[in-house]
Structure 1
Amino acid sequence: MAQPLRTWAVAAALLAFTTAAVVWWLGGPAGLGAGDTHQPPVGAIAAATSAQVQPSPAQGADNSFFARRRAIATDGSADPLLVHGLRDTLEALLMEAGDASDPAVLKQRLAALVNQHFPATLATRALALAERYVDYRVALGSLRAPQDLTDPRALRDALEARHKVRLQFFDDAEYDALFAREADLDRYTLARLEIERNTQLSPEQRAQALQAADNELSAERRAERSAATEHMAAAAQTAAFNTSNADERTRYAARSAQYGPAAARAMAQLDREEQHWNQRLDQYSQARTQQGEGPGLQQLRQQLFSPEEQQRIDAALALRRLSAGASGS
């Protein structure tokens, strides 16, 4: 069963994190590090921002975070492990494993959980990758956060340093699967920040530079960004409806006026699917609390959810716990 409303929520969250110019620091997969390089933006952006950020001649560009990378194939990787969404799965796995000050303890927990997140044919490789992902996150902890997260130069250094750490733990194919989409948007966001902060630009130059930044994004990334913006507004409206317990008639009237009758009917169907999804999650979560892991819970999992949905259960429950913790703090 499709779950577009959840997709909207995820897209909105990703856009918020990316637009914050990678404000996360080790608190999540988009955490930053501090570095010591100063590379210019790529392509047409460089002309608009070169007065503000000068490259370091001692630093090569081939392995720089800001160097052009090969285009990522849109039809996916032939490797069934290295697919889009891999990092989300690893983060969900870490979240389910819980806090552990000792990486060795955390890796032991991952070994016990990996089969719940990956098929048996990929479990061994997935565990090895997850263990390196733990080491990567530990290495990020040795980086110092920028003192001013609104300073483009500090953010540029941080992105470069984080990139270097990633290259220490992952090969090119793994890097692309884990980080390529985020990296494209990080570069774009930083470029916009640099343009906005460049006082030497006239309004016309700034507009041209911002357009150039948009052009640096691939068509796929631009479509994702555009869709995320639209979905964020729709998701915010749906969240407001849920908070106020708005009935179907109220929702339809508002959505029809804003998006048209056809879209309003589609959103109503999504509301019903979302409600059904949450009801099944509630049933599964309660059963796991009462009886723990075992054959009975696995049978219930298969009864309640499609194979595709089963891959999202643990991440959805982890997100629930995270949201509950945030609202209780």
Structure 2
Amino acid sequence: MVMRSRAWAAVAVLLAVATASVVWWLGVQGLPGAGDKRQAPGGAAGAPTGTRGAHATAWRLDTSDFAHRRASGSDNTDPLLVDGLRNTLEALLLEAGDANDPAALKQRLAALIGSHFPKALATRALALAERYVDYRVALGQLRAPQDLTDPRAVRDALEARHKVRLQYFEGAEYDALFAREAELDRYTLARLEIARNTQLTPEQRAQALQATDNELSKERRAERSAATEHMAAAAQTAAFNTQNTDPYTRHAARSAQYGEAAAHAMAQLDRDEQHWQQRLDQYSQHAQQGDDSAALQQLRKQLFSAEEQQRVEAALALRKLQTPATTPGS
């Protein structure tokens, strides 16, 4: 339940930027716990901005400049390269804990690999996990575009990320890890280019968007529909929070729109989120007061579960991003 409440806050922030930036922000991560050492991508192949013409067919997904790979699906007989492989690797990294040193992290992975993969696959899985660590390190050197609504900037960023992926994975490995995400990347970028193309008439824009929707697979279409519903609910909650809407009004609006059961579930998420923020406040106050590291670590364990402790620093960093900068005298 706590993880779901964290997701509400994350989605609310993402609503403030272009949808095309979602996958980029999720992908640009170095090692767990590593500092921000991102640098400009450098050398990312440039692509024309979203002004390639006024015809819907200009935005066909298969014209994307970053690789158009298709998942092997039922033809994939490799027991290692299955759906969910990337999630398994991320879970493995999360269990390994914070580490600024790739070599140290790889040693931890070697000790944990058996709990995530069958014995027969352990050797190959560890080799893949070690390359995934190197990939995450390289990915952490990239910098997100300053304007997340600029199609050219987003495309360059995605291409830079794609080049990094090709350095560490190929063929079926790439498909198992990234094919699903890449399809959604292409789709989202196409819609962003259409939306930002001022040369299109409303009718042409509608046709282009429909053509893009038609090229999305049924599976991705269903995922997008579900994500849209969650984002709408998250946006509503963010608006409630901004307006300090009382629980009764929230419940009435939610039950009318989503049903009674969903409204009760959302109310519980509200309570979980409030409790989380209160604990963050308490921890942050002690940190700002200069408590010694031992006392701060003890407080951290008292306030947060082991799982929540993995997210405390990211939550505090998110707070800083959401706090408007002040100038002297303001």
Could you state the TM-score of these two structures normalised by the residue count of structure 1? 0.62
Q: How many residues align?
A: 284
Pair 270,48 (structure 1): closer, same or farther in 2 beyond 3 Å: closer
What's the secondary structure of 2:81's corresponding residue? Answer: coil
Superposition pairs for residues 204-219 of structure 1, below 5 Å?
Answer: 204-219=203-218
**Deviations 1:270-298 (CA, angstroms, capped at 9, x unpaired):** 9889x9xxxxxxxxxx9xx79xxxxxxxx
Question: 1:264 matched to which residue of 2?
Answer: 260
Q: 1:239 to 1:115 in 2, by over 3 A?
A: farther
User: Where in structure 2 are the equivalents of 1:137-216 lying within 5 Å?
Assistant: 137-141=136-140, 143=142, 146=145, 148-216=147-215
Question: Aligned in 2, Cα 1:211/1:173: closer, same or farther, shift over 3 Å?
Answer: same
The answer on 1:19 being equivalent to 2:15 is no
Query: Would you say the 8 A contact 1:18–1:186 is kept in 2?
Result: no
Percentage identity across paired residues of the two chains? 63
Q: CA deviation at 1:24?
A: 2.2
Say if 1:90 and 1:130, in contact at 8 Å, map to a contact too.
yes
Partner residue in 2 for 1:90: 89
TM-score under structure 2 normalisation? 0.61
Q: SS at the partner of 1:24?
A: helix
Q: CA RMSD in A?
A: 5.1
Counterpart check, 1:37 vs 2:45: yes
Check if 1:70 corresponds to 2:70: yes
1:68-147 aligned within 5 A: 69-70=69-70, 72-73=72-73, 78-141=77-140, 143=142, 146=145
**Contact persistence 1:110–1:127 (CA under 8 A):** yes
State the Cα deviation string for residues 3-51 of structure 1 (Å, max 9, x = none): 996898699589869814255286439x99454434679xx9994485x
Q: Is the 8 A contact 1:156 1:190 kept in 2?
A: yes
- Amino acid of the structure 2 residue aligned with 1:264: E
Counterpart CA distance in 2 for 1:80 and 1:238 is: 41
CA contact (8 A) 1:34 1:159 kept: no
What residue is the counterpart of 1:278 in the other structure? none
Specify every segment of 5 or more residues in structure 2 that has no aligned partner in the other structure, as ranges: 31-37, 272-297, 322-330
Determine the C-alpha separation between the residues in 1 that align with 2:237 and 2:98. 33
Instruction: Pick closer, same or farther for the CA change 1:20–1:191 going to 2, 3 Å.
Output: closer
Alpha-carbon contact 1:40-1:66 (below 8 Å) kept: no
